[in-house]
């Protein structure tokens, strides 16, 4: 039996045709996107909007429309244009609001302030992740691409630096070849590993601006370096991020974790389904999960496909790969059991 449909109405104030046009998008594309994603129907006349669907969805969409309308407030006399990405991220928040009605929503939200503005967690797992970064000296963020692990860690580092909680930021990742060979790349070692560190640079540029990042890097307030350069160092008063940690060996992970000094905070991010280490080498991230899980001062945050905040198809891709891998594992176990049974039959 299908759930009963309800109709909710909301009046967006103040009425402003330019803001309403931005909210709805060209040919009402923004509204159509909300309808497709949340399973509702939206109609409107001027600033009066009607939403039809199941109770939870309509309540969430009403709050979503209010939030998006706030985003259209004039900035220096100009009305911001809402693009599909902004609407997509707002929909992620609307789904959080839907969970709030069931009493499953996360607790006090922690927002991160940067030069770019306030960066907000988009779902309960992201919110818990940011809270754990604030409250723990070492935080692991583990999950598929697109869940905001690295971006939120960099934002938290920038926030800590701006508030003078730390004196420097250090960003690192292992320079492991993902099918390509480093040798063919032009330049010296630093230039060869630069593409591996590019996502970290991009996040910094977005939050602080290119010129400020360049100045801070010249003064070594921000350092971006391959993991191999960490050996032998002790890092005090620093916010340290190890990205792509699934590609560390057990020895490298231990080396990194023992570099952390006084008044330092470390965030380790990675996706254990995308290990690029040579065959037979064990991932330091997988090993750390097993060894360190019971230490109270260390937090582990596990993201799923539901937490992906990129294009919606990315979440479906992640789910498809997970289902395929589970199917292959089940098939492998079945073949092993069949082989064992055949061996036992031969003995008997």
Residue-range domains of the chain with CATH = 6-101 (3.30.1370.10), 121-310 (3.40.50.300)
The helix/strand/coil state of 267 is strand
Predicted TM-score (pTM) above 0.85:
no
| Residues 226-274: tens digit of each pLDDT | 888 787 787 888 999 999 999 999 999 999 998 888 888 999 999 988 8
| Residues 48-96: tens digit of each pLDDT | 999 998 888 888 889 899 989 998 998 888 898 888 778 877 776 665 4
26, 58, 229, 250, 262 from 234: Cα distances, Å: 54, 53, 12, 19, 9
Range 15-40 average pLDDT:
88
The helix/strand/coil state of 262 is coil
pLDDT of 41? 92
- The owner of tokens 């620093």 is 238
Residue 126 has pLDDT above 90, yes or no: no
pLDDT of 99? 46
């Amino acid at each position: 039996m299908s759930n009963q449909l309800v109709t909710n109405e909301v009046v967006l104030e103040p009425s402003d045709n330019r803001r309403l046009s931005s909210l709805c998008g060209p040919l009402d594309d923004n509204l159509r996107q909300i309808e497709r994603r949340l399973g509702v129907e939206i109609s409107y006349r001027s600033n009066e909007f009607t939403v039809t669907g199941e109770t939870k969805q309509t309540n969430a969409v009403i709050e979503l429309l209010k939030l998006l309308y706030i985003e259209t407030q004039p900035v220096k006399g100009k009305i911001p244009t809402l693009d599909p990405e902004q609407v997509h991220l707002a929909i992620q928040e609307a789904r959080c609001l839907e969970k709030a009605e069931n009493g499953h929503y996360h607790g006090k939200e922690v927002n991160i302030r940067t030069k770019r503005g306030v960066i907000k967690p988009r779902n309960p797992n992201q919110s818990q992740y940011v809270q754990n970064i604030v409250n723990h000296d070492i935080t692991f963020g583990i999950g598929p691409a697109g869940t905001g692990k690295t971006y939120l860690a960099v934002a938290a580092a920038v926030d800590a630096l701006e508030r003078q909680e730390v004196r420097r930021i250090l960003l690192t990742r292992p320079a492991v070849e993902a099918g390509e060979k480093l040798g063919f790349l032009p330049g010296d070692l630093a230039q060869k590993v630069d593409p591996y560190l590019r996502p970290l640079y991009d996040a910094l540029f977005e939050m602080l601006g290119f010129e400020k990042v360049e100045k801070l890097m010249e003064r070594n307030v921000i350092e971006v370096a391959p993991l191999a350069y960490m050996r032998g160092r002790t890092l005090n008063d620093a916010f340290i991020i190890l990205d792509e940690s699934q590609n560390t060996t057990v020895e490298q992970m231990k080396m990194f974790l023992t570099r952390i000094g006084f008044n330092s905070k470390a965030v380790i991010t990675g996706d254990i389904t995308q290990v690029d280490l040579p065959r037979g080498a064990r991932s330091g991230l997988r090993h750390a999960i097993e060894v360190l899980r019971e230490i109270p001062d260390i937090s582990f945050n596990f993201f799923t496909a539901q937490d992906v905040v990129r294009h919606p198809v990315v979440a479906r891709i992640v789910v498809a790969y997970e289902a395929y891998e589970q199917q292959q594992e089940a098939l492998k176990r079945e073949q092993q059991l069949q082989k064992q049974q055949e061996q036992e039959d031969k003995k008997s």
